[in-house]
Amino acid sequence: MKKLFAIILVFTISTALYAQAISSDRLLPNGLRSISATGIIVDVSGGKYTFSLNAATGEGGELWGLIVGSDIFMTDNAELLMKLDNDEIIHLVADRVNVSAFSTPDHYTTYHIGGISETYVEPGREKDYYVSIYKLSEEQVLLLESHDIKKMRISLGQSYLEKASGLKKLSKWLSKSATLIRERMQKPQGIHKGITEGF
C-alpha cells in the first residue's frame, strides 16, 4: 500500500511540475492583449533552451510568436529551423534578441579523498541570458499544431546546434500551448483588482 501511495505521489508531483497552463494574460500599452503559455526546457546538443508560445490579439487579428531563451549566446537575427514529420521546413528569423544578466548562486563542491572530506565554495558569477522572439504566421502555428518536429537547428552566429531526435515532447507542448491560448482568446480578459483596492 505504501509503495502504491509513493508511486501515485511521484506521478502527481511530476505531472504538476510539467503542467501546461497560461502563464500570463495582460493588456499591453498599445491595446493588444498578450497571452503566453508556460515554457518547456529542451536540451539541444548539450545546451538548454526554454521554448514558449505567445499570441497578441487585437482589432488587426492575431500575432503569434515563439519565444526561445537560453544562457547560450544568440545573435541578432538568430535563425531557427524546424523540419516537420511531413518534411516541410519552418525557417524562422528572430525579430529581436534581448539580453539580460543574472547571477549564478554559490556552488559547494565536496571532495572525498580516503576518509577526508573537503568542501570548497565556488563563488557565483554573472551570466548573460538571451531571449529571442520569432514571429509565426497563422499557417506556421497550424503546422506546429498538426505535425511533429523531427529535426531542429538553432544558429549561434557562425555555427549552429542541432537536435535530430527526442522532439516529440516539444511538438506536443507547442500544440497544446496553441490550443490553450486559442481557448483563452475566446474568454474575456478577467478584471484585475488594483493593489490599493480594499486596503
Please state, in angstroms and rounded to a whole number, the distance separating the CA atoms of residues 149 and 143.
10
> Residue 3: inside a domain, yes or no?
no
Provide the CB-side half-sphere exposure for 181 (13 A, CA).
Answer: 30
Pick from 147, 131, 44, 135: which is nearest to 89 by CA? 147
pLDDT in tens, 173-194: 999 999 999 999 988 876 666 6
pLDDT in tens, 44-70: 998 999 999 999 988 878 899 999 999
- pLDDT surpasses 70 at 154: yes
Please state, in angstroms and rounded to a whole number, the distance separating the CA atoms of residues 72 and 51.
14
Whether the CB-CB separation of 184 and 22 falls below 8 Å is answered with: yes
Cell of 84: 516537420
Please state, in angstroms and rounded to a whole number, the distance separating the CA atoms of residues 39 and 69.
10
CATH number of the domain enclosing 124: 2.60.40
Q: 97 or 4: whose pLDDT is higher? A: 97
> Residue 131: inside a domain, yes or no?
yes
Average pLDDT on 31-37 reads: 92
- Please give the pLDDT value at position 31: 86
Q: Is 114 left (phi over 0), alpha (psi -120 to 50) or beta?
A: left
Q: 103 or 34: whose pLDDT is higher? A: 34
> Residue 118: inside a domain, yes or no?
yes
> Residue 197: inside a domain, yes or no?
no
- pLDDT surpasses 80 at 94: yes
> Residue 66: inside a domain, yes or no?
yes
Q: Is 97 left (phi over 0), alpha (psi -120 to 50) or beta?
A: beta
Please state, in angstroms and rounded to a whole number, the distance separating the CA atoms of residues 42 and 55.
21
- Please give the pLDDT value at position 106: 60
> Residue 2: inside a domain, yes or no?
no
- Please give the pLDDT value at position 1: 46
pLDDT in tens, 129-139: 999 999 999 99
> Residue 135: inside a domain, yes or no?
yes
Q: Which amino acid is at 145?
A: E
Pairing of strands 149-155, 22-27: unpaired
Q: Domain range spanning residue 63? A: 21-185
Quote the mean pLDDT of the chain.
83
Q: How many domains does the chain have?
A: 1
The model carries a pTM of 0.76
Instruction: State the residue for C-alpha cell 519565444.
Output: 67
- pLDDT surpasses 70 at 109: no
> Residue 69: inside a domain, yes or no?
yes
For residue 134, list its beta bridge partners.
66, 94
- pLDDT surpasses 90 at 157: no
- Please give the pLDDT value at position 75: 86
What is the DSSP code (8-state) at residue 60?
T
Q: How confident is the model at residue 5 (pLDDT cuts 50, 70, 90)?
A: very low
